[in-house]
Structure 1
Amino acid sequence: MTKPVVVGVDGSQSSLDAVEVAAREAGLRGVGLRMVHAFGWPGLHVPPGGPPWDPGSAGVRELIDGTLAEAERRARDAAPHVDLTREVPVGEPLMVLEIESRTACLAVVGSRGLNSFGSLLLGSTAVHLAAHGHCPVLVVRGRPHPAGPVLLAVDGSTAAEPAVEFAFAEASMRGTELVALHVWKSWTERAPDGLADPALVAYDESRLRDAEERLLEKAVAGHPETRADVTVHRRLVRGRVRATLVEASAGAQLLVVGARGRGGFTGMLLGSVSQAVLHHARCPVAVARSGAT
């Protein structure tokens, strides 16, 4: 059975934006869209007239139906021919969407929901799902450049390989170019005190750049053969990884990252670079995690 795209709906503007993106993603893949509204206290402000854990009571049902009706309208406008289904499971959104991701090809959420504090740049549901989802997760944020490329963050790690595959597939479906961006640091920038022998720096920097170029080439090698319709641009930039990716995202339709790359601690499910772009990128961010199915 073909797996659908799943989107979390809570009635917030962020989740409605996510519905539109999810509908278009489902249309690109030729699959259905499953809209999930997790019913659980305190995530839902329950009106008078029914117990807080009874989604079938009159007042609550009207609230849920209204939320999903608006979501369905937005989905229909974005992708009229996509098959839609609704789910209203009882439970906390974090757990519900993680479970739903097990039978999805892609999970889509907004960057902030109804429960996010005003000072937070990213909601807890988006962070949790990006780290624990069982399929690629797309967090809708920023303002995507409609004619921009798919931007792939390359670090050469094994954990990032699913992100490479996902980025090629997205660029192919969207009919756009892929920019594979690898950011590197010099020996002196990597050293704790920034000191190095001046006589060796130029030679070592040249060798290091060559090595980083090979890493970038290897990361995307072979994929153009299976995605011949995708034009790939390789960019090697010396600088700060997080700041460079955030800046580059301003001209992209989508930024694709792995969950954890080189230098990440083994026990971490979501690395610092992934967390940084989820909070600060200027376009939607997709996290493709190794081990997700």
Structure 2
Amino acid sequence: MSEKYIIGVDGSEQSRVALAWGLARATERGASVELLHVADDSFLSESVAFLSEAQQASQQMLQTECEYAKSLGFTGEVSGTAVVGHPIAEVEEASKRADLLVLGAHQGGRLAGSFFGTRAVKVAAVAHCPVAVVPETDPAPNAGIVVGIDGSEAARHAIAYAAKEASRRRLPLIAVYAWMPPLTPGLEYLWSEELVESQRTAAEEAIAIGTAGLASEYPDLEVRREIVQAPPVAALVQAAEGAEMLVVGSRGRGGISRLLLGSVSHGVLQALPCPTVVTRG
């Protein structure tokens, strides 16, 4: 059974960057594509006339974006869904029928249906499938796929996803483990070189465990392991500058986006050094 990608569209330049990225990926995978436009009803009158006009506008927008998708040369299966409703709720429901949800990357949008930018963080927190948030970037030649490792169950899902992607694309996998010594005001003097070295050793063990088994599963995969003494978000953003993709794990779905998405996932979605995929636990 082929994969299905849902791509959010709103007619903006940022949305079309994500659309082109999603279509290119769908071509590689032989996946079907569903374009989704949500007209936000938060500020609309509840009258039947207003809602009907909003639905017609949403369908017109969707038709325009379907035609644009075809103009890019995509020859696969494309369907479309135009709805009026709450963007986060509608996208969460749509994610139940997708293998990947693709969103553009910008803060807000010029149209009422935009659910990108800060809303992408909320979508990533509640989605039922992996979410890709795509900024306009140019990957460096032979750029790799970066994944964050921290020993958690969420990170294990991210590693599995990233390794599969890197193997498919024949790109190096760059596994990043970031650590910082605990900083307690007034107690910095307790941190000796021996204790810092023990932290480094623990980091080396964690990244070794996190990448264990990849060599046997993907014999031709090049795995680079990087241990960085820096805050996790800063380390991942720097490592992913010019990368093909950054993959981070999510703790799961829930109503408080930052807490349940995780501070690291939340942080990288605010910075977006490259197309970033948030995997599901």
Aligned counterparts, 1:1-293, within 5 A:
1-41=1-41, 51-54=49-52, 61-74=59-72, 76=73, 80-112=74-106, 113-114=108-109, 123-147=117-141, 148-186=143-181, 189-197=182-190, 201-260=192-251, 268-290=259-281
Deviations 1:129-149 (A, max 9, x none): 110110110001251414310
TM-score, length basis structure 2? 0.85
For residues 162 and 43 of structure 1, do their structure 2 counterparts lie closer, same or farther at Cα, with a shift above 3 Å needed?
farther
Task: Report if the CA contact (8 A) 1:34-1:87 is conserved.
Answer: yes
Deviations 1:155-208 (A, max 9, x none): 11112211111111111222211100111113xx4334351346xx12222222
Counterpart AA for 1:88: A
Counterpart AA for 2:95: S
Higher strand share: 2
Counterpart CA distance in 2 for 1:101 and 1:60 is 19
C-alpha displacement at 1:235, in angstroms?
Answer: 0.5
Counterpart CA distance in 2 for 1:59 and 1:213 is 55
Secondary structure of the 1:176 match is coil
Counterpart CA distance in 2 for 1:29 and 1:123 is 27
Task: Report if the CA contact (8 A) 1:9-1:68 is conserved.
Answer: no
C-alpha displacement at 1:13, in angstroms?
Answer: 1.2
Deviations 1:92-115 (A, max 9, x none): 221221111111111100112525
TM-score, length basis structure 1? 0.82
C-alpha displacement at 1:240, in angstroms?
Answer: 2.1
For residues 115 and 268 of structure 1, do their structure 2 counterparts lie closer, same or farther at Cα, with a shift above 3 Å needed?
farther
Counterpart CA distance in 2 for 1:84 and 1:274 is 30
Provide the alpha-carbon RMSD of the alignment.
2.8
